[in-house]
Amino acid sequence: MHCPFCRHPDSRVVDSRTAEDGSSIRRRRQCPQCNRRFTTMEATSLAVIKRSGVSEEFSRQKIVTGVRKACQGRPVNDDDLAKLAQRVEEKIRGLGVAEIDADEVGLAILEPLRELDQIAYLRFASVYQGFDTLEDFEAAIASLRRDAEAAGSDPAS
Ligand SMILES: [Zn+2]
């Protein structure tokens, strides 16, 4: 790993720490030439297999971009989106797999999005779960109502 400050081609590890959930390792490194310190992260590679069969590295930014479209005009800010993407990544990494289908990533987004904003959830679910009739929407809305009632948060009751 070269030094990001002076580009020296070598560096020395001075400290190594595993993340609490064991999914990544943080290393403090020191450059033997300029003596500056920097941190590197090591995580297992997680590939997302798209429907076309092409695989690409998992990216939180792509989650944010995908969900942002569904959140247009909704009271959802960048911070909410960043937290949602983090939850999705933790959920997927928690599966302990090296690759995952793009559809499964979409499904992993549904639950946190449902908690974040129900309208955005319906928009997103309609694309990911291929809603093509009004009945599909009605079923999804009925399910949201049941959740609200189970949580005791239905203002009508
Ligand atoms: Zn250096």
Query: pLDDT at position 153, please?
Result: 57
DSSP string for 26-70: EEEEE-TTT--EEEEEEE---EEE-TTS-EEE--HHHHHHHHHHH
Whether 28 and 100 map to the same domain: the answer is no
Q: Cα separation of 157 and 150, whole Å?
A: 11
pLDDT of residue 96: 82
Assess whether 50 and 34 both reside in one domain: no
38 CA from centroid of ligand 1 (Å): 9
Residue type present at position 105: V
Structure tokens given for 33: 């030439």
- CA of 53 from ligand 1 middle (Å) equals 41
What was the pLDDT predicted at 122? 95
Do residue 50 and residue 15 come from a single domain? no
In total, how many domains does the chain have? 2
Identify the bridge partners of residue 15 per DSSP, sorted by sequence position: 28
12 C-alpha to ligand 1 centroid (Å): 11
Residue-number span of the structural domain to which 88 is assigned? 45-151
Statement to judge: residues 116 and 77 lie in one domain: yes
Residues by chain with Cβ below 5 Å of ion ligand 1 = 3, 5-6, 8, 31, 33-34
Could you give the CA distance from residue 121 to residue 144 in angstroms, rounded to a whole number?
10
Same domain, 26 and 50: no
pLDDT at 157: 45
- Residue 5 CA, ligand 1 centroid: distance in Å: 5
Q: Are residues 23 and 67 in the same domain?
A: no
Does 140 share its domain with 114?
yes
Task: Find the helix or strand (DSSP H, E) in which 15 lies.
Answer: strand 12-18
Amino acid letter, residue 152 = G
Ranges under pLDDT 70 in the chain: 21, 153-157
Structural domain includes residue 16: yes
Same domain, yes or no: 34 and 89: no
Taking the centre of ligand 1 as the mean of its atom positions, its distance from the CA of residue 44, in whole angstroms, is 26
60 domain-assigned: yes
